Structure 1
Amino acid sequence: MADLLTFTTLLATAKPPQDPTEECHTRGSYSLHHVFLFSGQPSADAYVNPEGATSVVISMRSRRQHVENGTEAEFSETTGDNKKSSCGLLYTVDEVPVWYMTILFGFQQYLVMVVATVSVPFILTPLLCIDDDDPVRGRLVCTIIFVSGLITLLQTTFGVRLPIVQGGTFSFLVPTIAFINTAFPKCEDLPLANMTVTQQEEEWKVRMRAVQGAIVVTGIFQVVIGFTGLMGLLLAWITPLTIVPTIVLIGLALFEVAMRMASLHWGISSFTIVLMLLFSQFLKDVPLPCPAYTRSSGFHIVWVHVFKLFSLLLAILVSWCLCWLLTVTDSLPRDNRARTDSSNDLITLSPWISVPYPGQWGLPTVSLAAVLGMLAGMTASMVESIGDYYACARISGAPSPPTHAMNRGIGVEGLGGVLAGLWGTGNGTTSISINIGAIGITKVGSRRVMQAAAVFMMLFGTLGKFGAVFACIPSPVIGGMFCILFGMIVAVGFSPLQFIDLNSSRNLFILGFSIFIGLALPKWMEKHPGVVDTGVILLDQLLTVLLQTSMLIGGFLGCFLDNLVPGTLDERGLIKWRAQYSSTEKSDEGKADCYDLPFGMHAIRRATWLRYVPFSPTFRGFTKK
Structure 2
Amino acid sequence: MVLGRQQTDASVQDPRGPQWTGSRRVDWCPPLVLNLAMALQHVLVQCSLLVLTVGMLQCRLQWTVAQRGQHLASLLFSSALATLLHTCTGSCLPLMQAPSLEMLVPALVLLSAKTGNEEDCRGQYSETERCDAQGSAERELQGMVVVAGLLQVCVGVCGLGGVCLRRCGPLVLAPLLCVLGLSIYREAALLCSDHWGFAALAVFLMVILSQHLRSVSFSALPDFVQFPFYSMLSVLLPVLIVWGVCVLLEFSGHLQLHTLSDLLPDPGVQNETAPRLLNDTHTHTVLSSGPSLKHSGTLPWISLPHTGVWRPLLSGRATAAGVAAALGSCCSSMAVYCLSSRFLGAPQPPAHACNRGLLSEGLATLTSALLGSTLGVVSSTANVCTLELSQCGSRRTVQLAAILGLLLGLSPRLTVLLSSIPLVIYGAILCVTYAVATATGVTYFQYGHMDSGRNIFNIGFTTFMALVLPRWFRLQPDVLSIGQSSANVFLLSVLTSPMLLIFLMAFLLENSVSGSLAERGLTRVEGKRGETVLVLSDGRQNHDERDATYEPPYVVRRLLAMPT
TM-score range, shorter chain: 0.7 to 0.9
Q: Is the 8 A contact 2:232 2:390 kept in 1?
A: yes
- Corresponding residue of 1:382: 333
- Corresponding residue of 1:68: none
Q: Is the 8 A contact 1:129 1:204 kept in 2?
A: no
Cα distance in 2 for partners of 1:157, 1:559 equals: 30
Residues 210 and 119 of structure 1, relative CA distance in 2, 3 Å threshold: farther
- Corresponding residue of 2:185: 255
Deviation of 1:471 after TM superposition, in Å, equals: 0.4
- Corresponding residue of 2:377: 428
Cα distance in 1 for partners of 2:356, 2:504 equals: 26
Structure 2 counterparts to residues 55-204 of structure 1, below 5 A? 88=22, 93=27, 104=33, 107-130=36-59, 134-160=65-91, 162=92, 164-168=94-98, 170=100, 172-173=102-103, 175-176=105-106, 179-180=109-110, 182-183=112-113
Cα distance in 2 for partners of 1:361, 1:492 equals: 41
Structure 2 counterparts to residues 514-593 of structure 1, below 5 A? 514-575=462-523, 579-580=534-535, 583=539, 588=544
| Partner AA of 1:529 in structure 2 | P
Q: Percent identity?
A: 25
Count matched residues: 504
- Corresponding residue of 2:229: 306
**1:344 maps to 2:304:** no
Cα distance in 2 for partners of 1:277, 1:87 equals: 21
- The two structures have a TM-score, normalised by structure 1, of 0.69
| Partner AA of 2:156 in structure 1 | G
Cα distance in 2 for partners of 1:275, 1:440 equals: 13
Deviation of 1:460 after TM superposition, in Å, equals: 2.5
**1:244 maps to 2:205:** no
| Partner AA of 1:597 in structure 2 | R
| Partner AA of 1:351 in structure 2 | P
Deviation of 1:412 after TM superposition, in Å, equals: 1.5
Cα distance in 2 for partners of 1:267, 1:591 equals: 45
**1:8-67 C-alpha deviation (Å, 9 max, x unpaired):** xxx6xx66347xxx3xx47xxx768769xxxxxx6xxx5xxxxxxxxxx67xxxxxxxxx
Q: Is the 8 A contact 1:222 1:411 kept in 2?
A: yes
Local SS of the residue matching 1:597 = helix
**1:369 maps to 2:292:** no
- Corresponding residue of 2:558: 598
Cα distance in 1 for partners of 2:524, 2:4 equals: 9
Cα distance in 2 for partners of 1:342, 1:462 equals: 18
Deviation of 1:580 after TM superposition, in Å, equals: 3.8
Q: Is the 8 A contact 2:331 2:500 kept in 1?
A: no
Deviation of 1:379 after TM superposition, in Å, equals: 2.6
Cα distance in 2 for partners of 1:515, 1:589 equals: 31
| Equivalent of 1:326 in 213, 233, 249 | 249
Cα distance in 1 for partners of 2:96, 2:357 equals: 11
Residues 89 and 489 of structure 1, relative CA distance in 2, 3 Å threshold: closer
Cα distance in 1 for partners of 2:562, 2:179 equals: 47
Cα distance in 1 for partners of 2:258, 2:94 equals: 42
Residues 246 and 370 of structure 1, relative CA distance in 2, 3 Å threshold: farther
Residues 307 and 591 of structure 1, relative CA distance in 2, 3 Å threshold: closer
Q: Is the 8 A contact 1:219 1:416 kept in 2?
A: yes
- Corresponding residue of 1:490: 438
Local SS of the residue matching 2:480 = coil
- Corresponding residue of 1:230: 160
Q: Tell me which structure has the larger Cα radius of gyration.
A: 1
Q: Is the 8 A contact 2:161 2:351 kept in 1?
A: no
Local SS of the residue matching 1:495 = helix
Cα distance in 2 for partners of 1:235, 1:15 equals: 12
- Corresponding residue of 2:359: 411
Deviation of 1:524 after TM superposition, in Å, equals: 1.9
Q: Is the 8 A contact 2:147 2:323 kept in 1?
A: no
Deviation of 1:171 after TM superposition, in Å, equals: 5.1
Gaps of 5+ in 2: 116-131, 264-287, 526-532
Local SS of the residue matching 2:254 = coil
| Equivalent of 1:353 in 287, 302, 311 | 302
Structure 2 counterparts to residues 462-501 of structure 1, below 5 A? 462-501=410-449
Residues 111 and 590 of structure 1, relative CA distance in 2, 3 Å threshold: closer
Deviation of 1:329 after TM superposition, in Å, equals: 2.4
Residues 508 and 89 of structure 1, relative CA distance in 2, 3 Å threshold: closer
Cα distance in 1 for partners of 2:101, 2:501 equals: 14
Deviation of 1:436 after TM superposition, in Å, equals: 8.6
| Partner AA of 1:457 in structure 2 | G
Cα distance in 2 for partners of 1:31, 1:170 equals: 38
**1:444-489 C-alpha deviation (Å, 9 max, x unpaired):** 85x6665444333312221222211110011223223333233333
| Partner AA of 1:107 in structure 2 | L
| Partner AA of 1:496 in structure 2 | Y
**1:91-120 C-alpha deviation (Å, 9 max, x unpaired):** 974x9x7xxx88656534421320221011
Residues 465 and 333 of structure 1, relative CA distance in 2, 3 Å threshold: closer
| Equivalent of 1:512 in 442, 460, 465 | 460
Residues 31 and 169 of structure 1, relative CA distance in 2, 3 Å threshold: farther
- Structure with higher helix content: 2
| Partner AA of 2:355 in structure 1 | N
Deviation of 1:356 after TM superposition, in Å, equals: 0.7
| Partner AA of 2:507 in structure 1 | C
Deviation of 1:324 after TM superposition, in Å, equals: 1.5
**1:564-621 C-alpha deviation (Å, 9 max, x unpaired):** 22111221223369944655975647886954733353769xxxxxxxxxxxxxxxxx
Structure 2 counterparts to residues 604-623 of structure 1, below 5 A? none
Residues 277 and 425 of structure 1, relative CA distance in 2, 3 Å threshold: farther
Deviation of 1:545 after TM superposition, in Å, equals: 2.5
- Corresponding residue of 1:275: 205
Residues 109 and 313 of structure 1, relative CA distance in 2, 3 Å threshold: closer
Cα distance in 2 for partners of 1:441, 1:584 equals: 31
Cα distance in 1 for partners of 2:175, 2:375 equals: 25
Q: Is the 8 A contact 2:382 2:433 kept in 1?
A: no
- Corresponding residue of 2:530: none
Cα distance in 2 for partners of 1:252, 1:270 equals: 19
Residues 216 and 519 of structure 1, relative CA distance in 2, 3 Å threshold: same
- Corresponding residue of 2:276: none
Cα distance in 1 for partners of 2:137, 2:519 equals: 45
Question: What is the RMSD of the two structures over their aligned residues, measured on CA atoms?
Answer: 4.1
Cα distance in 2 for partners of 1:428, 1:344 equals: 27
Q: Is the 8 A contact 1:154 1:412 kept in 2?
A: yes
- Corresponding residue of 2:149: 219
Local SS of the residue matching 1:557 = helix
Q: Is the 8 A contact 2:336 2:384 kept in 1?
A: no
- The two structures have a TM-score, normalised by structure 2, of 0.75
Gaps of 5+ in 1: 1-10, 36-41, 47-56, 59-85, 186-201, 605-625
| Partner AA of 1:115 in structure 2 | L
Cα distance in 2 for partners of 1:251, 1:590 equals: 29
- Corresponding residue of 1:16: 4
